[in-house]
Structure 1
Amino acid sequence: MRFLRLFVILVMAFGLAACGSKFRVYNGPEVTSVQVHKTDRKIYLLHNEKVLKVYDVALGFAPTGHKQFEGDGKTPEGAYFITHKNPNSEFHLSLGISYPNEADLAFAEAANKPPGGDIFIHGAPNQKVSRRDWTAGCIAVSDKQMEIVYSMIKPGTPIFILP
């Protein structure tokens, strides 16, 4: 009887601990691509042509145009891919984006400037996404949305960042 009671208590404790986890499980259709529409401040998670999820985003503090150099505050534009998942992000959770690519590197090198890097999709401070653009060039959603995005997207997924 004591063993059964202890077992039930342990199961309940683990169940409650799992409720607060930032790591969700996704069992739906595979996300085959991601699109970010900078002008509309939207991110779309797609399975082929079908939109699975859409969220508002915040971008770099100077979002118009393609990121060219470190510190320019722009969010890149073009075709990239998700490089990795970062469960220990400064911004809750994050997904790495493959900026800079070879063309980005060549452009910055020709101007004798660093291209910048560390571009991510990540959560936002205080569980809010501001319509104001505040990142250093990243794409931000709320922390709760980031938990869903993080669970759905795998490294290697293409991401198309459009003007």
Structure 2
Amino acid sequence: MSIFKLTVLAFVVVSTVCVYLFMRPYWVPLYHKVAGKQSVSDVIREYGATSEARLRPFFQQAGVQYPPKSVTLLAIKGTDQLELWASNDDNPVFIRTYPVLAASGILGPKLQEGDEQVPEGIYSLEYLNPNSAFHLSMKLNYPNDFDLIHAHAEGREAPGTNIFIHGKAMSVGCLAMGDEVIEELFVLTAKIGKESVKVAIAPIDPRQHNILPLAHGKPKWVSELYTNITDYFSRYQHSS
């Protein structure tokens, strides 16, 4: 094959990959218009059995009945980790740790639309999206009340929105977990109800490090935020 043909072939392959990866927010909705949208129930039927087969052994090993009554996801940006904790009473139990495949931005809270920061704080879930451009997704309630109060006080009219935990391995302010992991978390959340899931996101693990120095040079409210995050994480201690 000539150098010209190889160059053309390489261009076509690279272009196709780029369109698939980076244009997903545009072509996936068009695909759903043609193929039809799926529901949460459709996702459960398609992925429920296999995702639960992967997840149940971790619950059994932890001694927690599946599905649990409540779940907490602890995200640690500095180490790209997401911890799954579950409870059937008032005592959360560690289930497992997932690697975060992609999380854009740097340490520090999200401030405005387009800064590509992953938020830091304590959040709930607004809804499950079975037709995500990134396989499946779960929307955080960012900006929450705390975020909005300080955004308004500082005149930040667009603190950002549309922050998800989703599949695939690319991120623009979201936590990208890969397809199999989001299937597990999506199915688990659908089973117990989004109201029973909390998500806390920290810059580094406040159980191992004092995160308050990271607020140095930032607005005063960041110290308050990091104190709240530290207090929240303190409820989730690994057994020695």
- TM-score, length-scaled by structure 2: 0.52
Cα distance change, pair 44–141 in 1 and its aligned pair in 2 (3 A): same
Contact map agreement 1:38 1:59 (CA 8 A) in 2: no
Matched, 1:83 2:126: yes
Equivalent residue, structure 2, for 1:15: none
Q: What SS does the aligned partner of 1:69 have?
A: coil
Q: Deviations over 1:40-76 (max 9, x none)?
A: 1111111143222321114442132111111111111
Equivalent residue, structure 1, for 2:77: 38
CA shift at 1:23, angstroms? 4.3
Q: Deviations over 1:53-100 (max 9, x none)?
A: 321114442132111111111111111111211111111011111100
The equivalent position to 1:22 in structure 2, one of 40, 47, 53, is 47
CA shift at 1:150, angstroms? 0.8
The structure that has the greater radius of gyration is: 2
Equivalent residue, structure 2, for 1:118: 162
Contact map agreement 1:63 1:137 (CA 8 A) in 2: no
CA RMSD of aligned residues (A): 2.2
Residues 1-163 of structure 1 mapped to structure 2, 5 A cutoff: 21-24=46-49, 26=52, 28-30=66-68, 31-48=70-87, 49-109=92-152, 110-124=154-168, 129=169, 134-153=170-189, 154-156=193-195, 157-163=197-203
Q: Deviations over 1:6-51 (max 9, x none)?
A: xxxxxxxxxxxx9x92344747142421111111111111114322
Q: What SS does the aligned partner of 1:75 have?
A: coil
- TM-score, length-scaled by structure 1: 0.74
Equivalent residue, structure 2, for 1:4: none
- Higher relative contact order, structure no. (Cα contacts within 8 Å, ≥ 6 residues apart): 1
Larger relative strand fraction: 1
Contact map agreement 2:123 2:200 (CA 8 A) in 1: yes
- The one-letter amino acid of 1:142's match is G
Cα distance change, pair 142–60 in 1 and its aligned pair in 2 (3 A): closer
Structure 2 Cα separation of the partners of residues 141 and 95 of structure 1:
11
* Moved segments of 4+, more than 2 Å: 20-27, 58-61, 106-113
